[in-house]
Structure formats: structure tokens, C-alpha cells
Amino acid sequence: MIRALVPGVFLMAASAVCLGQDRPIVGAIRWDAWTGGRVTEQVERTLGPKPYHDRLPWFARVVPGQAARIDGSPQAVMDKEIAYAANAGLDYWAFLIYPKESPMSTALGQYLRSHKRNRVGFCLILHNTLKTPDDRWPAERDRAVALLREPGYQTVLGNRPLVYAFAGKGFPFGRFRAFLAAARKDGLQPYCVYMGWNPASDFKRVKPEGFDAVSAYAMAGSQANFADLAQAVEKNYWNHAARSGVPYVPLVTTGWDKRPRQDHPVTWEKGHAYHRQKVFPSRAKPAEIAAHLRNALACVREHADLCKARAVIVYAWNEYDEGGWIAPTRGAGGTPDTTRLDAIGATLHREEAAQRAPAGDPLKSAPPT
């Protein structure tokens, strides 16, 4: 059986894994602070201490004095990351979109220039672009709409561009409505997903603004174990959405450990509560992440009426210093550590094999490993 970590909920027979439908699409959040600029300088400090070197991106260097140097600006880095994601069976990346001239937009530009981009789709998480100054907003709005027409943009429910939105407190709904109106004027019907914290109350608040569903960006946690954090996500997010009848895209967490930012505070998170936090969840084991992902895929199938987009979003591809990542890290001797991505790849490839297996094949009834 495929069982959620929360007893009695999201129970699904393994023989029902394949019901004549493709598996749900799986994407991962990209927070691209690793390509240069002031933010990169700060994350070099957060991950500079030796205890955090195994959380560095796979392309980082450690120099004498235990300092870290992170330069993800070469195009070859993005091309290799596309290969990593595609080989693991990941369907799309969800890019946090920043103003075009921001160094935080460099990676998106690399992706759009890559000759390998057709191997992994992409979509947007409307973010800081929604808070640009008034005189620059029309251009940023139009840029975001134009990206929805790019080849490889992830669509759901036929041909609806998948759009997430996350902006924390004080969400600029006026800007979002302007984006949505511009997209519709261009003949597009985006499927818009608000990333919040409380599915039922979030949806009640954002549905009138034009959102189709809700999800989450991450879940902060003070649990001692990753398994307890994953259970909290399933109970407080997925199960809450199901009980409330709320259209939902399940979030898969891969961790939450902001001790690097406690040691070396970053300018955009001054005074945040985690600075006083004493306990963070243990580091997720690859098998634990894979089990949590299997539960999310089962959740989508069991609640097809609510999970209409048939999508899952993973926190995250590369939130290394915040505690959530599936991208390769700098392993022993500087070689890439791909164990998390390997576990996800094994899960997704097994799901795809089950889809292709003929009726009565053991793949359709064997319990997940």
C-alpha cells in the first residue's frame, strides 16, 4: 500500500497506481541566488563555514581559509543542471521571477538560451517582479506575459500556462490582477496557484482575485526529525485542503534548516523569528524524500477532483542555505553528490515504468521500494 505519514489519510492501493493516466507532473522551485551579485556574496558567507560545505552547490569551490566561492554564471552550469533534472525525470522548474536586470534573473536567462532547454519545462513563480516601481511595472508585466508563450512553458488542463505566485505578506493583488488581465488580453488563460500557508482561508481570500488553486512555497518547522516535518506538510497542507474541498497543488518538502543564516544573517531576513530558533528538523534522507514524493503522487490521484492540474511542486531545487534542495551538492572530494536526485529519479522512473506495463504486470501491483 501507499500510505501517507498521517495515519488513515491518502491511503491508496499500489495496484491502483496506474489507472490509464500519466503520472502527475513534478516540478521544483528554483531560487537562483548563485550566479553573482550581492545575494551571492551573502550566501557564500552563509555556506562558507566548514560544517556547511556539503550543502554548497555542486559547482562551488572551497578555497584556503575554508571560504566558499560560488559561481553559477557559466552557461555550462545551467546546461548540466538541465541534464541532471531531465535524467531524474523532473518535468519542470518553477523559477522565482525577479526584474529582468536583477542578477537573480541570470539563471532564467541561461535556461532560455540553453540548447538543452527542451528536456525540462519551466514556469513562473510571480515574486519580486510584482513589487517593481510603478514606472517599470508595465514592462515587467509584459515580460512575464511573454514568457508564458515561450517554447517549453509548462501547461496544465490542456493548454493553460501554469503560474504560481508567492510574495509573502502584503501580496500586491492589484499587480496580479493587471498581469492576469494582460495575459487574457493576449489570448492566454493561466492556471494560477497562490502559495500560502492555510489552504482553506487562503483560497477563500484569493479566489475572487483570479486564482484557480492554492499551494505553498515551503513549511517552516521546529521539529527534531524530517519525518515529522513531512508529516506536518501532509496533515496541515494536503489533508487540510482535502477536508476543505480546496483546489490544491501538493507541496513536497525536502527540509528546513536555516542555521547557516543564523550564523551569518542575510540582509533580506533581518529580525525573522528563525534567528531565535533552537531546533531544526534533521537532514532528510533520500529515501524519506522519495517516500514523501510517492505520497504526494498518491494524493493527486486520490483527490483528482481537487488536484485538477495533476501537478506537484517540490521545495526546492536549490535552496541550499535554507535547507531545501534536490539539486546535486558538493560532495566528498568536490564531486557532485546526487543522492537526493537519484532517489527522486528512481521514484519517477518506476512510476513511468508502471504506466507502460501491461495489465497484470508485477510492476502494477508491486509495493514501492
- Location of C-alpha cell 518553477: 94
Whole-number pLDDT of residue 64: 80
Whole-number pLDDT of residue 67: 86
Whole-number pLDDT of residue 98: 96
| Span 22-356 CATH architecture | Alpha-Beta Barrel (3.20)
- Location of C-alpha cell 489533508: 239
Task: Give the integer Cα–Cα distance in Å for 59 and 329.
Answer: 8
Residue 159: strand pairing partners? none
Short-list 8, 15, 12, CA closest to 295: 12
Whole-number pLDDT of residue 359: 60
Whole-number pLDDT of residue 12: 33
- Residue ranges of the domains in the chain? 22-356
Q: How many CB atoms lie within 10 A of CB 309?
A: 24
Q: How far is CA 296 from CA 233, 245, 331, 348, in A?
A: 10, 17, 28, 12
Report residue 336: phi and psi, to 5°. Answer: -65, 135
Whole-number pLDDT of residue 11: 34
Q: pLDDT per position in the chain (369 positions), as tens?
A: 233 333 334 333 222 233 335 899 999 999 999 999 999 999 999 999 999 999 999 999 998 877 899 999 999 999 999 999 999 999 999 999 999 999 999 999 999 999 999 999 999 999 999 999 999 999 999 999 999 999 999 999 999 999 999 987 789 999 999 999 999 999 999 999 999 999 999 999 999 999 999 999 999 999 999 999 999 999 999 999 999 999 999 999 999 999 999 999 999 999 899 999 999 999 999 999 999 999 999 999 999 999 999 999 999 999 999 999 999 999 988 999 999 999 999 999 999 888 777 666 655 544 444
